[in-house]
Amino acid sequence: MTGHRAVDQTAAHMAEAIREGRATSYEITEAHLDRIDAIDGTVKAFLHVDREGALATAREVDEAIARGEKLGPLAGVPIAVKDVVVTKGMPTTAASKILEGWIPPYDATIVERIKAAKMPILGKTNMDEFAMGSSTEYSAFGATLNPWDTGRIPGGSGGGSAAAVAAKMAPLAIGTDTGGSIRQPGAVTGTFGAKPTYGSNSRYGLIAFSSSLDTPGPVARNALDAALLHEVISGYDPRDSTAIDAPVPPVVAAAKAGATGDLSGLKLGVVKEFAEGADAAEAGVIAAYEAGVEQLVKLGAEIREVSCPSFSYALPTYYLIAPSEASSNLARYDGVRYGLRAGDDGKHSLEEVMSLTREAGFGPEVKRRIILGTYALSAGYVDAFYGKAQLVRTLIKQDFEKAFEQVDAIISPTTPFIAFKFGERTGDPYQMYLADLYTIPTNLYGGPGVSVPVGLSEGMPVGLQVMGPVMGDDITYRVAAALESTQDTLLADTAPEIEGN
């Protein structure tokens, strides 16, 4: 398994080859680093590449295997990490000028677990600044391109991670999902993206955007690879006050069960209100989604209509809660403690230095959300806006809890439209926000959701979303893996070849 052939394999196959001595972690990791060197000047998925560190870890894995040591299921398989997750000794910027050059002194919990699993970290991937965006156009360091069509966006905020996997520069990646930022990029790049149950893995070391919504999760080319990574990074962490002290759902076993293609007895819900809002979705997306539903029925699933009356309020609710929490979380970037400092020339007051630093360091979308969130939390408005939004969030949660009493999982399109062209929606924030129309409810009720490639529209990938009840991550993987079993070739394996730098 050498050269380009190495990067064509799934993560599960790479891990097996490494364990059985048919390949070394070093040659697989080097093959991915060489591919990054060859094409990332075009795709721009990475903000930082750690060739030396990745190869050192790969060498350690090969030496451990030579000594006969038993290692974890993904040992030696390289991975990319979204730049909103802190990495000790490696730059972490959240794609913002305000953190440019910052080197964290500690690792996030999920990075600790990746390192404990002996997975070489290839580097840090591009994203919308502070995870605020749906296209990666709001990165302070330039946009990432979609490997399927470099004139189109790769989704966001985690477009870098999705593009890295889609372009075979990494077999696996870490993303974060606050309103759809793993699943929506997955849908538009033909990759598999999973948002775990909120609290089932640790937010410790995750640069905060919206603390009650942020969830790290896996990006992969298929359900099994994502499930393997899901189990590596998940589990209780006492350093995260929102962590759930419960066993990790058996997602690997579920993905393997789903791959048999049998969904007999499973009840899948279609939300009535999602269909009523289908006017926001493109016809090609709906057609691919409906074809996927037909495949699920052929596999034995029963489709039932369920109602979530508060769905229409999900988008405005999210865009009150998330910016409000962001305005609080981002107050720490003041030019005093760490990061960028502007105007510190002895002529400006502390307040002026803070203002100049934030003006220079934050991009337009971050500023927009800080202003919106600060207004929603201001005296006289907090109860009318933020307080009401939290009440509606409770109603949305209750709607989905009732729905899951009737069905095992809920399905929908992942996003209403295929990857749009650069600049097409940046002039109208609402049109950009619609990208997360179907994914936001999952974040609001706290359950799991995955996006699995389901087909093409206008030659671009379309994703089908599977949502589950809280701690029902395994059912989402089972359904997604079953849908994959109907495809002769994984969509992730059919992306056009990227021309070199």
Structure-token match 């009720």, residue found: 445
Tell whether the torsion through CA atoms of 87, 211, 441 and 480 is positive or negative. positive
Identity of residue 381: Y
Is 80 exceeded by the pLDDT of residue 2? no
Cα separation, 169 vs 32, whole angstroms: 5
Is 157 annotated in the active site?
A: yes
Contacts of 290 (CB under 8 A, 6+ apart): none
How large is the average pLDDT for residues 262-269?
97
Tell whether the torsion through CA atoms of 471, 474, 480 and 482 is positive or negative. negative
Check: CB of residue 121 under 8 Å from CB of residue 88: no
The catalytic residue among 25, 44, 82, 200 is 82
Predicted pLDDT at 501: 62
Predicted pLDDT at 346: 87
Check: CB of residue 247 under 8 Å from CB of residue 33: no
Is 90 exceeded by the pLDDT of residue 491? no
Least confident of 13-27, 283-297, 350-364, 484-498: 484-498
Q: Is 62 helix (H, G, I), strand (E, B) or coil?
A: helix
Predicted pLDDT at 274: 86
Other Cβ atoms closer than 10 A to 276: 10
Confidence of residue 3 (pLDDT cuts 50, 70, 90): very low
Tell whether the torsion through CA atoms of 103, 111, 186 and 167 is positive or negative. positive
Q: Where are the alpha helices (DSSP H) in 243-363?
A: 251-258, 272-276, 283-298, 314-329, 350-361
pLDDT tens digits, one per residue of 414-460: 999 999 999 999 888 888 999 999 999 999 999 999 999 999 999 99
Q: Is 464 helix (H, G, I), strand (E, B) or coil?
A: strand
Predicted pLDDT at 155: 98
Could you tell me the pTM of the whole model? 0.96
* Angle made by CA atoms 211, 190, 12, in degrees to the nearest 5: 85
Kindly state the greatest CA–CA separation across the chain: 72
Cα separations (Å) of 362 from 112, 194, 294, 324, 326? 29, 29, 46, 16, 13
What string of DSSP letters covers 397-457? HHHHHHHTTT-SEEEEESSSSPPPBTTSSTT-HHHHHGGGTTTHHHHHHT--EEEEEEEEE
The catalytic residue among 25, 134, 157, 451 is 157
123: left (phi over 0), alpha (psi -120 to 50) or beta: left
Confidence of residue 471 (pLDDT cuts 50, 70, 90): very high
φ/ψ (deg, to 5) at 41 = -65, -25
pLDDT tens digits, one per residue of 348-405: 999 999 999 999 999 999 999 999 999 999 988 999 999 999 999 999 999 999 999 9
Q: Which helix (H) or strand (E) holds 161?
A: helix 159-166
pLDDT tens digits, one per residue of 192-246: 999 999 999 999 999 999 999 999 999 999 999 999 999 999 999 999 999 999 9
Residues in the chain: 501
Other Cβ atoms closer than 10 A to 112: 17
The catalytic residue among 181, 200, 210, 451 is 181
Other Cβ atoms closer than 10 A to 251: 29
Predicted pLDDT at 496: 81
Q: What is the mean pLDDT of the chain?
A: 95
Predicted pLDDT at 370: 96
Cα separation, 204 vs 282, whole angstroms: 38
Check: CB of residue 264 under 8 Å from CB of residue 300: yes
Least confident of 95-109, 275-289, 375-389, 455-469: 275-289
pLDDT tens digits, one per residue of 150-173: 999 999 999 999 999 999 999 999
**267-271, strands of its sheet edge to edge:** 46-49, 121-125, 79-82, 173-177, 215-220, 192-195, 449-457, 460-467, 409-413, 267-271, 302-306
Is 397 annotated in the active site?
A: no
List, in order of start, the domains of the chain with CATH numbers.
6-273+405-494 (3.90.1300.10)
